[in-house]
Amino acid sequence: MTSGINVGVDVGKSWLDVNEYGRDDELRFNNDRNGWTKLIEWLKERQVDMVTFEATGGYETQAVNSLLAAGITVAVVNPTRVRNFARSLGILAKTDKIDARVIAHFASVTHPNPRARKTEEEEHLTACVERRRQLIIMLTAEKNRLSTCPTNMLANIQEHIAYLEERIQQLEENIHEEITRDPDRQRRSEQIESVPGIGPITASTLIAELPELGTLNRQEIAALAGVAPFNKDSGKKRGRRKTTGGRAGVRRVLYMATLSATKHNPVIRPFYQSLQARGKEKKVALVACMRKLLVIVNAMLRKDQHWECSYV
């Protein structure tokens, strides 16, 4: 497709509001299989160059996958970036139709990176990783309730905790099976796990949710994960660097891996200690270590190496 037509899609639970950039009218399709089919037909008739969705916590997933399967170029963007873009244009109102129009305009200006189509196996792995994360949140909440719950509810909560732990273990076994089923994924997982501080859950999450790992440079991969510091300067003022955006699931597991790496990794540990010695706050030092750890893994995968080959 070479027409340069950008289409924005605002996603709701029941429908998709669609706008072609430069047009004042919007279309609405059901957010179901029949609606996706009609949307695909319309997009192909219009010879659309790119369709941009706003991430909405999963409501967009099946529609995105259907368009990708039909050979349509799709991007999924952070809703915060779109909202900030709208404010910069003086658009303060927020409705589904306005949002679709803003997303289309945003895509025409920023040209977001298209999303690669995942195989069925990759979708299964991603689903297992996401479901495990959801159950971990539930498990933590239930364990926190134990100390304050009424006595007559204690056995009920303990039973639920045991159930959640069993389901999490089953999911971890499923994740391991999905990883080992594919030789390339298994090799990448072994390379990532060879880094001191990184375990199988972190490795599987990086493989599932950061497939670009090993294909981008250090600046690009850090920005994609949301661990790259951005300047906030104006004139002579030098503002505090901050990280923003990125993939929350990746940052969560990377944070836990970094905590371990600051104690056991021969590269990250002295780096963390040097940052603290220079007066850096603990949180700032940890984020810097997260970025360094991710950059190390990225470089290893680009060179197709294990930790021992690279740093020992």
Whether residue 218 contacts residue 212, with contact meaning beta carbons closer than 8 Å, is answered with no
Same domain, 203 and 131: no
DSSP letter for each residue of 188-236: HHHHHHTSTT--HHHHHHHHHH-TTTTTS-HHHHHHHHT---B--EETT
Confidence of residue 244 (pLDDT cuts 50, 70, 90): low
Residue 115 falls within a domain, yes or no?
no
Whether residue 225 contacts residue 294, with contact meaning beta carbons closer than 8 Å, is answered with yes
Predicted TM-score (pTM) of this structure = 0.73
* 132-160 per-position pLDDT tens digit: 999 999 999 999 999 899 999 999 999 99
CATH of the domain at 95: 3.30.420.10
Residue 97 falls within a domain, yes or no?
yes
Whether residue 166 contacts residue 132, with contact meaning beta carbons closer than 8 Å, is answered with no
Side-chain-side CA neighbours of 153 within 13 Å: the count stands at: 9
Pairing relation of β-strands 233-234 and 237-238?
antiparallel
Whether residue 254 contacts residue 225, with contact meaning beta carbons closer than 8 Å, is answered with yes
In this predicted structure, which of 89-98, 152-161, 240-249 has the lowest mean pLDDT?
240-249
Query: Could you say which of 53, 86, 110 is where a domain stops?
Result: 110
Same domain, 33 and 104: yes
Q: What six digits make up the tokens of 68?
A: 């990708």
Query: Could you say which of 47, 81, 110 is where a domain stops?
Result: 110
Query: Could you say which of 181, 201, 222 is where a domain stops?
Result: 181
Residue 1 falls within a domain, yes or no?
no
Q: What six digits make up the tokens of 72?
A: 């349509």
> How deeply is 68 buried, as exposed, middle or buried, from its count of CB atoms within 10 A (0-12, 13-18, 19+)?
middle
Cα→Cα distances 284→41, 86, 233, 250, 288, Å: 49, 30, 18, 18, 6
Same domain, 14 and 88: yes
Same domain, 191 and 311: yes
Q: What six digits make up the tokens of 186?
A: 């298994």
Measured between alpha carbons, how far is 74 from 229 in angstroms, rounded to an integer? 27
Q: Is the dihedral of CA 113, 119, 122, 126 positive or negative?
A: positive
Confidence of residue 56 (pLDDT cuts 50, 70, 90): confident
Least Cα distance to 101 among 4, 14, 5, 26 occurs for 26
Confidence of residue 234 (pLDDT cuts 50, 70, 90): very low
pLDDT at 233: 45
Same domain, 68 and 124: no
For residue 140, what are the domain limits? 120-181
Same domain, 304 and 201: yes
